[in-house]
Structures are given as structure tokens and as C-alpha cells.
Amino acid sequence: MLIDRYSRTIDYLRISVTDRCDLRCTYCMPKGFTEFEKPKHWLSFTEIERVVRQFAAMGTHHFRLTGGEPLLRKNIVELVERLKSIEGVHELSLSTNATQLEHYAHDLKRAGLDRINVSLDSLTRQGVAKITGFDAKDKVLAGLAAAKDAGFKHIKINMVPMQGINENEIDAVVKFCMQNHFILRLIELMPMGATAQNHQYINLQPIITRLSQELDLIPSARQYGKGPAQYWENAEGTFSMGYITPMSQHFCQSCNRVRLTVDGTLYMCLGQEQKYPLAPLLKAEVDDHTLQQAIRNAINLKPLQHDFVEQPLKLIRIMSSTGG
């Protein structure tokens, strides 16, 4: 098993397959941003597969493909097939903005993808355009419909409430998820880079209290994947909501994940700068023992916690460059 200095078991790897995206969400990527990693520096599918194989051999069984927008990576279905064939990969999921999902949902399901998370911060055309830079509402809804048709269960909708932008849409998104049997997850905005720091995050604690009372929700023991969300559900078990609260009630003491960027850098914490470059070792084709030892060395760099609250302007690195 991979265990860090603070006795936390690392059993979840998030893999960014591209830092590019067809949307420009205001809290993720600065307007006009062009400093993307050059494709020649991206990890190949063979290199990604090799990293996953080593993590799986050391007890990490849960993996997620992220971006940027992962469905923009050419032949992404092939990568899903290859990763799912690795012994020890118990669950493979994907985070997407769903603009391309209509075209990929059935192929991804056939390739073995287990679960899908979709970012949806607004249900109005004006709201979607304001947050993402484009009126992508129809594409996103078509993608969600295709995912349901393909047979994906427990589809999660991720919403980041922001003060003065979409906080008045929370109830509408709740209703939408209840009607469509989606799992809604509300996520507190993290101050990653200047673009996110320009927004005011919303403390979810009062919202948790209000919605639990209005919808008769109770804390749930269910877990949908290996992420940090705490879930609530109705008495019938027909609707679930999750909350991710890195600002108002952080969960660093139980953090079980690290992130691999598109250029092969392992980041130990979303809110800190500790990192370990694996690409040079992969390019040099080191043996499995050397690569596994490098991963263990990286895990030993994992910090105790982030400093988002104490130092909200500390982190310059933007979300899209790290992987969602």
C-alpha cells in the first residue's frame, strides 16, 4: 500500500490527459489563456498505462481521467480500454463538461468506464454563457441524455456555487437532479490562481442545513467513488446530494489522492506546490522497481493540508493546469 508520512493511504489517482478545454469557466481558466502544455510533452497512452500499472501494483485501485476536458484527447476510448484491462484497476471514472459526451457516451460505456461526473454550474443559457464563456447548455444536456441512454448509473452533477453569479440557481439544479435521478454535488470554490481568487466562495454549511431541512435529507453512509464528498439522502433513498467543503470544513486529514498532470508531474496536494516529475523516468524507460520507488518518494512529499483559508492568494497555479 502507498501510505504517506501522516498515515494516510493513497488509493486514488486522478490523471489529466490534457490541459486544454473547449470552455473557459471563469474560476478555472483565465480569459484568453494560451499557455497550454505542448502536445510533444504530453504523456503517451503507453506511459499513462505504465504509471497506472505501478500504482495498481502498490494498492491504488481507483482512477479518474480529468483535464482540461478529457474528451478532447484523441482516442480517449482506447485509453479507457487499456486502463480497464490492468489488473488492480477496480474503478475508472471520468470528469467532463459533457460538451462532447453525446458522441462518446456509448463507446466509453462499452470500453468499461464505470462512472461519469459532469460539471454544470447553471441551467440558464445566460448563466452557462457567463460562467463558461459559451452557450453550451444544449450540448451538455444532450451529453447527459446520452450517458443515461448508454447505461451509466449514479451520474454526478458538480456545481460550484459563486456569490453573485449562480447562488440563486442552487434550488433549480437540485430540482433538475431529482427529476433526472442525478446525484448533485455542491463544491466550495478553491482560490486556485488569480481567476478563481477573483470570485467569492460560498460557505456551504448554511446551505447544507437549509436543504436538509427542506428536503428531509439525512446523512448517508453511501459512498459514490473515493472522493471527499459527504452525502445526504432522502428517506426513500431515491435522491442523494454530496457536499465538498475544502474551505469551511476541510478534509485534509483523510485525503487519499494525488494528481498526475498531462506532462507527467505528480502533484501531492491541490492546494500546495509539492510535486515530483515522473516523465524523465518514463522517457528513460527505467525498470518497474525504480519507478515504484519514485512514486513512493513522491508520496512522502505529500503535505499535511492546504493553506487555502490562511493564505488564499498563495497559489498561482490554475486548476486546468493541475487536473480537476
Q: How many CB atoms lie within 10 A of CB 250?
A: 17
Q: Residue 217 belongs to a domain with what CATH number? A: 3.20.20.70
Domain that holds residue 152: 12-322
Q: What is the pTM of this model?
A: 0.93
* C-alpha span between 228 and 223 (Å, rounded): 9
Cα-based angle 158, 161, 164 (whole degrees, multiple of 5): 150
Flag whether 50 is in a domain.
yes
Does the residue 261 lie in any domain? yes
The answer to whether residue 5 sits within a structural domain is no
User: E strands of 71-199, at which residues?
Assistant: 91-96, 115-119, 156-159, 183-187
Tell which residue, 101, 99, 103, 131, has the closest CA to residue 116. 101
**pLDDT in 10s for each residue of the chain, 324 residues:** 899 999 999 999 999 999 999 998 888 877 777 888 999 999 999 999 999 999 999 999 999 999 999 999 999 999 999 999 999 999 999 999 999 999 999 999 999 999 999 999 999 999 999 999 999 999 999 999 999 999 999 999 999 999 999 999 999 999 999 999 999 999 998 776 656 666 677 899 999 999 999 999 999 988 887 778 889 999 888 999 999 987 787 778 889 999 999 999 999 988 777 899 999 999 999 999 999 999 999 999 998 876 665 565 555 566 666 766
Strand segments (E) across the chain:
12-16, 62-66, 91-96, 115-119, 156-159, 183-187, 217-219, 230-234, 240-244, 257-260, 265-267, 275-277
What is the total count of domains within the chain?
1
Does residue 2 sit within a domain?
no
* 68: DSSP letter: S
3 occurs within a structural domain: no
d(CA 181, CA 208): 19
Q: Directed axis angle between helix 45-57 and helix 288-299, to 10°? A: 70
Establish if 239 belongs to a structural domain: yes
